[in-house]
Amino acid sequence: MSVIEQPLLELDNLHVDFHTPTGIVQAVRGLSFTLGRERLGIVGESGSGKSMTGRAILDLIPHPGEVRADAMRYRGQDLLTMDKRARRKLRGRHISMVMQDPKFSLNPVRTVGDQIAEAYRVHHKASAREAKQRSLAMLEQVQIREPARVYELYPHEVSGGMGQRVMIAMMLIAEPDILIADEPTSALDVTVQLQILKILDDLVTQRGMGLIFISHDLHLVQSFCDRVIVMYGGKAMETLPAAELADESARARRHPYTLGLLGCLPDLDHPRETLATLNRDPAWLA
């Protein structure tokens, strides 16, 4: 059967436009990629359209925004012709997203357990009891000790690292196929970052999910992902195997923007007087 071959997600010529009073702002302009059961990194500067790509896949582009594409398919299902309700049913259950800062992305007035159980109950007919059991098991999977106690806590009572575990538990409890991780560790301490990435990596591998890892951290993407899309101005500059980011011998094949980004990275072992600045060519966006 071709089911195994079928990609999880296909995007062809994705555009995200915002119609503002001062004109059209193009956040994403013609992005195409397919996602299998792999870890795909999307890197780029602020405003390069990487977050909007994730939002477009989830049908969560805010009000004046408009999504256009030649094709947008989840496991062969056409997302473009699907109605709002069906798109909503996909969210959480099939495509989910871990957001940047648990301080803001968890509802401050409800217990974390309540929020995790809720994510399960939207998609599964389950009693409150069963949802709680599931949530406790999920908390254990993100390596929280004493899940029963953490379940009753409010978001302001947990640390950033624990908050992000809760976030991962909440977004994975309905067992989606695709997880979009939008800067999932940017708000965390460096020591905690690695723990969270490890948890994320284990779960994604165990469940054979497709991961879209959005980041501006080249080192992180290079070590964490299989494949990387480098975005600039809403366009993909190039797509390359993550390992090649560090491969000096592959430099000749690299896009100048990718080289520019790499050149901006400070190196502790070889400190430079002045750090390179990015050289952006308007022709890239033509």
Interacting residue ranges for another protein, rule: CB under 8 A: 58, 60, 88-93, 96-97, 99-101, 104-111, 118-119, 122-123, 143-146, 149-150, 152-154, 156-159, 161-162, 167, 170-171, 174, 191, 195, 198-199
Smallest separation, CB 224 to another protein (Å):
16
What is the closest distance, in whole angstroms, from the C-beta atom of residue 283 to another protein in the complex?
A: 35
Three-state SS string across the chain, please?
A: CCCCCCCCEEEEEEEEEEEECCEEEEEEEEEEEEECCCEEEEECCCCCCHHHHHHHHHCCCCCCEEEECCEEEECCEECCCCCHHHHHHHECCCEEEECCCHHHHCCCCCCHHHHHHHHHHHHCCCCHHHHHHHHHHHHHHCCCCCHHHHHCCCHHHCCHHHHHHHHHHHHHCCCCCEEEEECCCCCCCHHHHHHHHHHHHHHHHHHCCEEEEEECCHHHHHHHCCEEEEEECCEEEEEEEHHHHCCHHHHHHCCHHHHHHHHCCCCCCCCCCCCCCCCCCHHHHC
Shortest spacing between CB 192 and another protein, in angstroms:
8
For the bound state, the minimum distance from the C-beta of residue 242 to another protein, rounded and expressed in Å, comes to: 24
Q: Which is nearer to another protein, 8 or 245 (CB)?
A: 8
- Smallest separation (angstroms) from another protein to the CB of 281: 34
Q: How far is the CB of 225 from another protein (least distance, A)?
A: 21
Residue 130: other Cβ atoms inside 10 A: 14
Provide the CB-side half-sphere exposure for 208 (13 A, CA).
Answer: 3
Q: Minimum Å distance from CB 116 to another protein?
A: 9
**Is 171 or 229 the residue whose CB approaches another protein more closely?**
171
Q: Which C-beta is closer to another protein: that of 165 or that of 227?
A: 165
CB closer to another protein, 26 vs 111: 111
By beta-carbon proximity to another protein, the closer residue of 58 and 230 is 58
Task: Tell me how many degrees the CA angle 147-37-42 measures, rounded to the nearest 5.
Answer: 90
Nearer to another protein, 96 or 222 (CB): 96
Residue nearer to another protein on the CB measure, 176 or 260: 176
